[in-house]
Amino acid sequence: MIKILFFGSIAAKIGRREMMIDRCGLTLADVVKEAGLETFKPLLVAVNQQQEHDLNILIQDGDEVAMMPPFAGG
Partner 1 sequence: MNSDMNKQQDAVRIQEADFSIEAEVDALRATSKRIGGITTFLGCARDFSEGRDVFSINFEQYAGMATRAMLSLRDEALEKFEIIDLRIVHRVTTVHAGDKIVLIVVGAEHRGPAFEACEWIIDSLKQRVPIWKKEVTPDGDSWVTEHP
Residue numbers at the binding site for partner 1 (CB under 8 A): 5, 7-9, 12, 44, 46, 49-50, 66, 68-74
- Our CB check for partner 1 shows the closer of 15 and 73 to be 73
CA distance 66 to 63: 10
In angstroms, give the least distance from the CB of 74 to partner 1.
5
Give the three-state DSSP class for 7. Answer: coil
CA distance 50 to 59: 13
- Our CB check for partner 1 shows the closer of 9 and 60 to be 9
- Our CB check for partner 1 shows the closer of 6 and 26 to be 6
Between CA 5 and CA 39, with CA 68 as vertex, the angle to 5 degrees is 105
